[in-house]
């Protein structure tokens, strides 16, 4: 007889992986699936009283936006060159950014589109984005997702007249589209229904998704400020705290409608210029100017406007971004006081000193 191990018809022996190894593999790669979704962990409910009164945004009464735990692998620290990491595509970086710079002006919304909107105002847009920052934070979405969602909102409002009652629907749908594009595990549609207190049904969100995709001609892939920021903060040699401060400045511009007059590249470079001045570092090196193709005088006006946003942040009624960057995971950069004394002003934290006056 032919031994069973040598028989072509013999069924291969099944080997069961050790349970502990499977669990570790699942945590590391998201490939191990138990068939059950991780439980939603409630978190502290954000204060949205003013946002409800002006825009009609909703969160379930007595409940918070749920946090969605993820078992995603940890990304390398931002700002640290990872030449041996194939996902960074180091050998193609120059070509990638040539394409981003070429495509950038083709996907920018008009900085005056609000003049054509009859039922939606600049204040309503700011409230909507402030709310989306909370949703983005609670679901632990990537920064790229948030920036892409805001750009989709502005591009859609630039293309289509929108009723006030549909503005939150546009916002939550744009975040869903961006999450599908950027996230490994985007939230399910029922979770987007939940965060609006069921103000909109799944069918309404799906219909709005079709409307947005048609209005934008399915052109979702477009440069955002985060794409440029990731490269420029590496070139700038940012430490973790420095990077968080620069990103805080950059995210403050999301709520500011006036920032639409600047390109994403311009905003990414200006936030680094301002952060350098705030931290009393060389404001704009020749290397930074070479890679961005922008000089310090070209960036000063934008940096001054960012500085004004920073000065107003503490007293602003919209606090989602400031609260986010007040957390220890972001080195509490939003709590730093740059106006405490003469040394800070010498560092260039005031709008006047940034302007060179």
Distance CA 324, CA 137 (A): 8
Distance CA 53, CA 57 (A): 8
- Termini Cα distance of the chain: 97
Distance CA 336, CA 61 (A): 34
Residue 259: other Cβ atoms inside 10 A: 20
pLDDT at 56: 54
Instruction: Kindly tell me the burial class for residue 32, based on how many C-beta atoms sit within 10 Å of its own C-beta (0-12, 13-18, 19 or more).
Output: middle
Domains and CATH numbers, the chain: 49-66+109-215 (1.10.472.10), 225-354 (1.10.472.10)
pLDDT at 207: 97
Q: The tokens 């105002």 sit on which residue?
A: 121
- Contact between 280 and 357 (Cβ < 8 Å): no
Average pLDDT per consecutive 10 residues, the chain (357 residues; last block may be shorter): 47 47 35 41 44 50 45 39 60 74 82 95 97 95 96 96 96 97 94 93 96 94 90 90 96 96 95 95 89 92 96 93 95 85 42 50
- Contact between 153 and 128 (Cβ < 8 Å): yes
pLDDT at 340: 53
Distance CA 272, CA 285 (A): 11
Query: Rounded to 5 degrees, what are φ and ψ at 41?
Result: -100, 120
Helix (H, G, I), strand (E, B) or coil at 65: coil
């Amino acid at each position: 007889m032919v031994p069973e191990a040598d028989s072509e018809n013999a069924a291969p022996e099944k080997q069961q992986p050790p349970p502990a190894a499977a669990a570790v593999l699942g945590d590391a790669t998201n490939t191990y699936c138990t068939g059950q979704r991780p439980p939603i962990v409630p978190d502290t409910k954000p204060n949205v009283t003013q946002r409800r009164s002006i825009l009609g945004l909703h969160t379930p009464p007595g409940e918070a936006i749920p946090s969605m735990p993820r078992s995603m692998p940890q990304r390398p620290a931002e700002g640290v060159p990872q030449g041996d990491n194939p996902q960074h595509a180091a050998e193609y970086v120059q070509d990638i950014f040539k394409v981003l710079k070429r495509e950038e002006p083709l996907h920018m919304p008009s900085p005056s589109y609000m003049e054509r909107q009859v039922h939606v105002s600049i204040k309503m847009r700011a409230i909507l984005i402030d709310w989306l920052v909370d949703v983005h934070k609670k679901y632990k979405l990537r920064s790229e997702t948030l920036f892409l969602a805001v750009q989709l909102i502005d591009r859609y409002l630039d293309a289509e007249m929108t009723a006030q009652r549909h503005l939150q629907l546009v916002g939550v749908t744009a975040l869903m589209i961006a999450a599908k594009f950027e996230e490994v595990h985007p939230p399910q549609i029922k979770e987007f229904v939940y965060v609006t207190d069921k103000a909109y049904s799944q069918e309404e969100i799906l219909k709005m998704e079709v409307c947005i995709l048609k209005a934008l001609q399915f052109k979702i892939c477009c440069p955002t400020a985060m794409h440029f920021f990731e490269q420029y903060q590496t070139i700038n040699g940012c430490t973790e705290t420095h990077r968080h401060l620069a990103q805080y400045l950059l995210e403050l511009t999301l709520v500011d409608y006036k920032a639409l007059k600047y390109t994403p590249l311009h905003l990414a470079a200006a936030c680094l210029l301002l952060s350098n001045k705030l931290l009393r570092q060389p404001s704009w090196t020749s290397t930074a100017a070479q890679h961005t193709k922008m000089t310090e005088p070209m960036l000063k006006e934008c940096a001054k406007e960012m500085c004004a946003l920073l000065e107003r942040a503490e007293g602003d009624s919209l606090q989602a971004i400031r609260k986010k960057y007040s957390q220890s995971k972001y080195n509490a950069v939003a709590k730093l006081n740059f106006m405490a004394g003469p040394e800070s002003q010498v560092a260039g934290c005031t709008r006047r000193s940034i302007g060179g006056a």
